[in-house]
Amino acid sequence: MKEDLGRELQRLNTFLGTALTHHQLQQVANHSTFSGMKARSTTNPTAAFVKNGAFVKGESDFVRKGTTGDWTNYFTPELDAKFQAWMTAGGAIAKDIPFRYHLEKQE
Protein backbone atom coordinates (compact mmCIF):
# COMPACT_ATOMS: atom_id res chain seq x y z
CA MET A 1 0.00 0.00 0.00
CA LYS A 2 2.88 2.32 0.71
CA GLU A 3 4.19 1.96 -2.83
CA ASP A 4 0.89 2.67 -4.66
CA LEU A 5 -2.09 3.27 -2.38
CA GLY A 6 -4.56 3.84 -5.22
CA ARG A 7 -3.64 0.58 -6.95
CA GLU A 8 -3.93 -1.42 -3.75
CA LEU A 9 -7.24 0.16 -2.80
CA GLN A 10 -8.58 -0.77 -6.23
CA ARG A 11 -7.40 -4.35 -5.71
CA LEU A 12 -9.17 -4.44 -2.33
CA ASN A 13 -12.28 -2.94 -3.91
CA THR A 14 -12.32 -5.72 -6.50
CA PHE A 15 -11.51 -8.47 -3.99
CA LEU A 16 -14.16 -7.36 -1.51
CA GLY A 17 -16.73 -6.62 -4.22
CA THR A 18 -17.51 -3.22 -2.69
CA ALA A 19 -17.95 -1.48 -6.08
CA LEU A 20 -16.70 1.86 -4.77
CA THR A 21 -16.50 4.66 -7.32
CA HIS A 22 -13.24 6.41 -8.18
CA HIS A 23 -14.34 9.36 -6.02
CA GLN A 24 -15.09 7.07 -3.05
CA LEU A 25 -11.71 5.35 -3.44
CA GLN A 26 -10.05 8.79 -3.41
CA GLN A 27 -11.84 9.55 -0.14
CA VAL A 28 -10.60 6.26 1.33
CA ALA A 29 -7.07 7.07 0.11
CA ASN A 30 -7.19 10.52 1.71
CA HIS A 31 -8.46 9.00 4.96
CA SER A 32 -5.77 6.29 4.82
CA THR A 33 -2.67 8.46 4.63
CA PHE A 34 -0.10 7.70 7.28
CA SER A 35 -0.17 11.22 8.70
CA GLY A 36 -3.96 11.13 8.88
CA MET A 37 -4.03 7.79 10.66
CA LYS A 38 -1.32 8.88 13.08
CA ALA A 39 -3.30 12.00 13.96
CA ARG A 40 -6.57 10.16 14.75
CA SER A 41 -7.07 8.59 18.16
CA THR A 42 -9.21 5.86 16.59
CA THR A 43 -6.25 4.54 14.59
CA ASN A 44 -3.44 5.66 16.90
CA PRO A 45 -4.42 5.01 20.52
CA THR A 46 -1.06 6.15 21.96
CA ALA A 47 -2.67 8.68 24.35
CA ALA A 48 -5.05 6.03 25.69
CA PHE A 49 -2.15 3.60 26.16
CA VAL A 50 -0.18 6.25 28.08
CA LYS A 51 -3.24 6.96 30.23
CA ASN A 52 -3.72 3.29 31.16
CA GLY A 53 0.01 2.75 31.76
CA ALA A 54 0.73 0.51 28.78
CA PHE A 55 3.07 3.13 27.24
CA VAL A 56 5.36 5.69 28.84
CA LYS A 57 4.73 9.22 27.53
CA GLY A 58 7.33 10.21 24.96
CA GLU A 59 8.92 6.76 24.90
CA SER A 60 7.03 5.18 22.02
CA ASP A 61 3.97 5.52 19.81
CA PHE A 62 1.50 2.89 18.66
CA VAL A 63 1.82 4.29 15.13
CA ARG A 64 5.49 5.12 14.76
CA LYS A 65 7.13 6.40 11.55
CA GLY A 66 5.46 4.85 8.55
CA THR A 67 8.81 4.03 7.00
CA THR A 68 9.02 0.74 5.13
CA GLY A 69 12.01 -1.30 6.26
CA ASP A 70 12.54 0.58 9.53
CA TRP A 71 12.04 -2.71 11.36
CA THR A 72 15.64 -3.60 10.42
CA ASN A 73 16.78 -0.96 12.93
CA TYR A 74 15.07 -2.87 15.73
CA PHE A 75 15.22 -6.57 14.85
CA THR A 76 18.08 -8.33 16.56
CA PRO A 77 19.60 -11.39 14.84
CA GLU A 78 17.83 -13.53 17.46
CA LEU A 79 14.44 -11.94 16.75
CA ASP A 80 14.99 -12.32 13.01
CA ALA A 81 15.76 -16.03 13.51
CA LYS A 82 12.52 -16.45 15.49
CA PHE A 83 10.56 -14.64 12.79
CA GLN A 84 12.08 -16.76 10.02
CA ALA A 85 11.26 -19.93 11.99
CA TRP A 86 7.68 -18.71 12.43
CA MET A 87 7.36 -17.98 8.68
CA THR A 88 8.82 -21.41 7.85
CA ALA A 89 6.38 -23.08 10.25
CA GLY A 90 3.55 -21.35 8.38
CA GLY A 91 4.41 -23.50 5.36
CA ALA A 92 2.26 -22.93 2.30
CA ILE A 93 0.25 -20.16 3.94
CA ALA A 94 3.36 -18.05 4.57
CA LYS A 95 4.43 -18.44 0.94
CA ASP A 96 1.08 -17.01 -0.20
CA ILE A 97 1.63 -13.77 1.71
CA PRO A 98 3.76 -11.54 -0.51
CA PHE A 99 5.47 -9.39 2.13
CA ARG A 100 7.72 -6.66 0.77
CA TYR A 101 10.16 -5.59 3.42
CA HIS A 102 11.81 -2.78 1.49
CA LEU A 103 10.81 -0.25 -1.16
CA GLU A 104 13.19 1.34 -3.61
CA LYS A 105 11.66 4.78 -3.20
CA GLN A 106 10.30 6.21 0.04
CA GLU A 107 7.65 8.96 0.23
- Write the pLDDT tens digit of every residue in 52-96: 888 888 777 777 888 888 888 888 999 989 988 887 887 777 677
Q: What is the pLDDT of residue 21?
A: 96
Q: Residue 19 and residue 12: Cα distance in Å, rounded?
A: 10
Sign of the alpha-carbon torsion through 59, 61, 62, 66 = negative
Given a cut of 70, whether residue 106 has pLDDT beyond it is: no
* 20-46 tens-digit pLDDT: 999 999 999 998 888 888 888 888 788
Q: What is the pLDDT of residue 29?
A: 93
More confident residue, 97 or 65: 65
Sorted by where each begins, the domain ranges of the chain are 67-107
